[in-house]
Amino acid sequence: MSEPILKIEDLDVRYATSQALFGVSVDVAPGSVLAVLGANGAGKSTLARAISGLVRPFGGRVVFDGRDITGKSAHHVRRLGLTYIPEGRGVFPGLTVIDNLKMAVAQEKRNDRAPAIDRAIDMFPVLGSRRSQLAGSLSGGEQQMLALARAVAVLPKLIIADEMSLGLAPQIVEAVFQSLEETRRAGVTIVLSEQFVHRALSLADTCVILSRGRVGWSGPASEAGTEVIDRYLGDAEHPAPAAS
Amino acid sequence: MLEFVIAGLVLGGIYAIASAGLVITYTASGILNFAFGAMAFFIARFYYYLHTEHSWGILPAAIVAIGLAGPIMGIFLYAVLFRYLRFNSPLIKVVATVGLLVAIPALATIIFGSGAILQAPGLAPEPVHVYQFLGVPITLDDIIVYICVVATVVLGAGVLRFTEVGLKVRAMVDSPAMTDLSGTNPDLVSGGVWAVSVFFAGLTGVLAAPIIGLDPNKFTVLIAAAFAAVIAAKMRSLPIAVGVGLLMGIATSLAERYLPSNSQWSGEIIDAIPFIVIAVVLLYSLLRRGRMGDVERVGGALDRAITPQGESRLAGSTSGALESGSLGLISKYAGPFLLIVAAGALPLIVQGYWVGLTAAAFAYAVIFLSWTLVTGEGGMLWLCQITFAGVGAITTAELATTHGWPVLAAVAVGGVIAMLMGLVVGLLSIRLGDLYVALVTLTFGLLVENLVFTLPSFVNSGLGLTVNPPSFATSSRVLAYLFLGIFVVIALFILNFRRSTSGLAMNAVRWSDPGARTTGVSVVQMKVTVAALAALVAGIGGGLLAIQQSTIAPGTFDTFLGVVWLAVLVTIGIRSTAAAIIAGLSFVMLPALAQAYLPTWTGNIPPLLFGLGAISAAKYPDGALAEQSRRFRNQLLRLADRQKPPLVIDTLSGPALADDAVGTATGTAQSAVAVGKAP
């Protein structure tokens, strides 16, 4: 395995007085897809937030692309090429679609911005017809498309996609996963936390299962068999159909 | 008529620029800057210092004062204060800016010297050139105001809508966390917004100085008028704020023209115009929707999820966290008890002049208990308790001196009248949310101060009203004990209220308004009751203060002074009855001690300290004293508990730990409860 693009060592995260992650260590190889699985409250979102700089880790180290980014602020991490799509619609609901995309490429060189926006809209044509609509008024699926478009417009090295299928209709979930596939084909490393366990595993190369803030199991996605999933996730592999 | 419209546009223009500055920072940071007037005063005073006192040219003085000092002040305050306020409760935000409102003029007096300046030049060279426009005389100062308003509107809207900087500001308003994730530093954007806001404050100040002079009180009144435009704009709409600001200026000018100039009421109506605007807007919103809506939301779900909440609410903490067993009870009540005993010994220890001051301190302590009730228990920030105190004082004087009532009965009636006023203000404002309560009570205070307290029969040619003490308490010492007794009775009532079902319901409301609603607590009814009781206490305290001072001089109950009182109490502790008595003693004794034993210039240090103390509410929401005594008590309990095995709580195995709940629902106070209750 080549040098990991993302290396997490012994990560501890606390919110005020309660600890959410205990000594989590994960490596992600360049160009691979890592699925982070776990029941509600296992620490999936916390892990993503700690990596992306939204919350400051209490202990441990995060190394991205050879640089120590532990405790660095989120905008700093983003400029290094790590894009985090937060759980529950990673868009600015009060801005228009085009303003959302403009914010996404605001850190690029001035001449690269328009082509980046065009590329994103080519990938998600539905956004082209909604340029001046407020992002908050898009449907759930369209908002996730916009969130992904915002991420891929800048061609990051790594995308962390947190629960992208949450609250979407099955067809839209399929479309979101297809977009993720395409993103991966463009050479982007993906860290994916998901409730649709089997769908996530079919896309992933490796898998980490979090349980109460600790790594319960980790290994190749193909080896995460029924027994492992049942033990750590219980019924989580069959989530109740969520309304969009 | 045109003449008066044009003239009104000057005052209206100043309102408009001020309300634009207020709306911009409120939208971008969720903070309504009550210190805007104080900032405007500071910059205007600095401009005066450079231009008039040190003979700088207009342009360099304006560039340094408005263009440099203003933005630097904004960035500095953002870096040390506003940055940390963003996700605090509206109450703390108001208290911190109110602290600034107290601290900044005190600082200005220390730096630039005291003394109100009645005549200050504006941005036009003196003597100010007068032009004729359609037969109307317009000064160059007026024209500069017009230009500034147009520039504010055009540039403001243009920058926000069409530039990348504007996009980043709008993005940050929408969600700071998402902005951060997009690679833009939200702190940089916010700092910039504050720089622009204080720039507007400075511009307002320098433009207003030729009209109102350089007096921090007048600036606060001016900005309170601009608040009316901000309320009409629902805090957020820049065009409405600017439009209403201009209209209020024109209305003022037209009222000056068309109301009979010989009637006393004309002047009062003119003073009341901003309040009329506020009343109309509030009544309209109440009738139409029942509430003003969700004004306190900042950012999105993500922003709230990554911010630990619940630990930094003013008056939000639950009492009785670690207290169990006899030691807990003793340690809880021993402090206040010893304090009362010590306070009771004070009139016996000190002599002469100082005995009278002790009595005054106890009267202030009673007034302060009013905030212990309304803010400490009710969780609302009322800025007009001094007005209720004034109502109590004036009623006492009128009934006792003019009509020959027994003086204590007069005090009681004064309290009841204040309570009725509190009831009306409460019914009007409480439904609308915490921020509106603070705004409405501040403007109400200013209104009563300008309309009622200045009536000729109360001012009495500057002599004020006289009050004689009750016949059994002609000595200051007896008076001090009488006041202390009344204080203890009210304090015991508050302690009892806190333990009662109503008190617990109020506690629930402070922690979570929707939570309390869903358990069947009538939030509005509770809050109105507490507010009315608090007004009663303030009215009684005001009556006592009037007895102690024996005359009510005009200006004793200025709204701005009431804000200083609040700062004193917040510094020491807003939830504790013991803090009220310490605050009373501090407020009276510190300046008196400074006056008696220290050089004159130190006289401005206590207000500065109180202002800074109120600002520190951002860090210690329960007040510095409450924080220290809590630590001390916990230390004692820890020592006593040493032999027991330590409690280890695996918080992750606790209930309700959904991914997001970890961030939102855990606060230190709640965890402390969990520790105390663990088996």
Looking at residues B303-319, what average pLDDT do you find? 51
| B664 vs B195 pLDDT, higher one | B195
- Give how far B515 is from chain A: nearest CA, Å: 22
Answering whether pTM is above 0.95, one says no
CA–CA min distance A18, chain B (Å): 6
3-state helix, strand, coil in chain A (%, to 5): 40, 25, 35
pLDDT value at residue B332: 65
Q: What is the mean pLDDT of residues B473-491?
A: 91
Q: Are residues B275 and B385 in the same domain?
A: no
- For residues A213 and A21, is the Cβ–Cβ distance under 8 A? yes
With CB atoms and an 8 Å threshold, state whether B179 touches A17: no
Angle between helices B36-48 and B216-232 (to 10 degrees): 140
- Gap between the Cα atoms of B364 and B556, Å rounded: 12
Of B199, B429, B239, B331, which is closest to residue B636 (Cα–Cα)?
B331
User: Does A45 contact B at CB distance below 8 Å?
Assistant: yes
The rounded distance, in Å, linking the Cα atoms of B621 and B314 is: 4
Average pLDDT over residues A145-169: 88
Domain annotation covers residue B336: no
Q: Which of A13, A14, A15 to mutate to test the interface with B (most CBs of B within 10 A)?
A: A15
Q: Is B326 exposed, middle or buried (0-12, 13-18, 19+ CB in 10 A)?
A: exposed
Of B175, B301, B667, the CB nearest to A92: B175
Q: Cα separation of B338 and B223, whole Å?
A: 44
Q: Please report which helix (H) or strand (E) contains residue A144, including its range.
A: helix A140-153
Residue B463 within any structural domain of the chain: yes
Share of chain A above pLDDT 90, in %: 36
| Distance, CA of B45 to CA of B51 (rounded, Å) | 10
Q: What is the pLDDT confidence band of residue B674, given thresholds at 50, 70 and 90?
A: very low
Residue B657: closest CA among chain A residues belongs to which residue?
A41
Q: Which is more confidently placed, B613 or A205?
A: A205
Of B577, B636, B637, whose CA–CA distance to B324 is shortest?
Answer: B637
Of the candidate CATH numbers 1.10.357.10, 3.40.50.2300, 3.40.1010.10, 3.40.50.300, the domain formed by A6-89+156-236 belongs to 3.40.50.300
* Domain coverage including residue B596: 362-630
Say if the Cβ atoms of B659 and A43 lie within 8 Å: yes
Interatomic CA distance for residues B504 and B664, integer angstroms:
23
The C-alpha angle B541, B545, B550, rounded to 5 degrees, equals 150
Tell me whether residues B183 and A107 touch, CB distance under 8 A. yes
pLDDT band at B327 (very low <50, low <70, confident <90, very high): low
Query: Which CATH number fits the domain that encloses residue B571?
Result: 1.10.3470
pLDDT at position B653 is 34
Q: Which residue in chain B has the smallest CA separation from A44?
A: B659
Same domain, yes or no, for B100 and B18? yes
| Residue B74 and residue B203 in one domain | yes
Residue A42 has pLDDT above 50, yes or no: yes
Domain membership of residue B357 (yes or no) is no
Residue B326: what pLDDT? 52
Segment among A138-147, B332-341, B431-440, B442-451 with least mean pLDDT:
B332-341
pLDDT at B357: 92
Q: Give the residue with greater pLDDT, A163 vs B63.
A: B63
Q: Which residues of B touch A (CB under 8 A)?
A: 164, 167-168, 170-171, 173-175, 177-186, 300-302, 305-306, 308, 311, 651-654, 657-663, 666-668, 671
Q: What percent of chain B has pLDDT over 70?
A: 87
| Backbone phi and psi for residue B406, each to the nearest 5 degrees, phi listed first | -60, 140
Q: What is the pLDDT of residue B248?
A: 92
Query: Which residues lie below 8 Å from residue A209, measured CB to CB, with a gap of 6+?
Result: A37, A38, A215, A216, A217, A218, A224, A228, A229, A232, A233
**pLDDT reported for residue A244:** 38
Instruction: Kindly report, residue by residue over B355-413, the tens digit of the pLDDT.
Output: 889 999 999 999 999 999 999 888 888 999 999 999 999 999 999 988 889 999 999 99
Determine the average pLDDT of the residues in B244-248. 93
Question: Per the CB < 8 Å rule, is A18 touching B666?
Answer: yes
Q: What are phi and psi of A154, to 5 degrees?
A: -95, 5
- pLDDT for B595-644, tens place per residue? 888 887 777 788 888 888 888 877 777 676 777 777 777 777 777 766 55
My answer on whether B285 and B401 are in the same domain is no
Mean pLDDT of chain B: 82
Query: Among B173, B306, B317, B659, which would you mutate to test the A interface (most chain A Cβ atoms within 10 Å of its Cβ)?
Result: B659
Is the pLDDT at B64 greater than 90, yes or no?
Answer: yes
pLDDT band at B676 (very low <50, low <70, confident <90, very high): very low
Residue B576, in any domain of the structure: yes
| Residues of B in Cβ contact (< 8 Å) with A104 | 182
Q: Measure the CA–CA gap between B158 and B498, rounded to whole angstroms.
A: 53
Cβ distance B668 to A107 less than 8 Å, yes or no, reads no
Nearest CA in chain A to B658: A41
Lowest mean pLDDT among A225-234, B12-21, B167-176, B238-247: A225-234
pLDDT at B339 over 50: yes
**Would you say A47 and A30 are in contact if contact means Cβ atoms under 8 Å apart?**
no
Stretch B209-225: mean pLDDT? 86
Hey, which of A91-95, B40-44, B569-573, B667-671 has the most confident mean pLDDT? B40-44
Question: Higher pLDDT residue, B227 or B217?
Answer: B227
In this model, does residue A17 exceed pLDDT 80? no
Q: What total of structural domains would you count in chain B?
A: 2
Question: Domain for residue B608, yes or no?
Answer: yes
pLDDT per position as a tens digit, B524-546:
888 999 999 999 999 999 999 99
Mutation for testing the A interface, residue in B184, B652, B660 having most A CBs under 10 Å: B652
Rounded to 5°, angle at Cα A71 from A47 and A158: 55
Q: Residues B284, B367: one domain?
A: no
Q: Strand A18-28 to strand A33-38: parallel, antiparallel, or no bridges (unpaired)?
A: unpaired
Let me know whether B177 and B293 are in one domain: yes
Spans of all domains in chain A: 6-89+156-236
Q: Hey, which of B320-329, B361-370, B458-467, B658-667 has the most confident mean pLDDT?
A: B361-370
**Which of the given ranges, A139-143, A158-162, B175-179, B273-277, has the highest pLDDT on average?**
A158-162
Q: B648 vs chain A: nearest CA distance in angstroms? A: 12
Residue of A nearest to B672 (CA): A17
Alpha carbons B568 and B561: distance in angstroms, whole number: 11
Q: Which of B170, B182, B188 to mutate to test the interface with A (most CBs of A within 10 A)?
A: B182
pLDDT at residue B180 tops 50: yes
CB-closest option in A16, A46, A86 to B666: A16
From B307's Cα to the closest Cα of chain A, the distance in A is 8
How far is A74 from B408, CA to CA, in rounded Å?
63
B436 and B295 belong to one structural domain: no
Dist CA A28 CA A3 (whole Å): 9
CB atoms within 10 A of CB B63: 14
Specify the pLDDT at position B300: 64
pLDDT of residue A51: 93
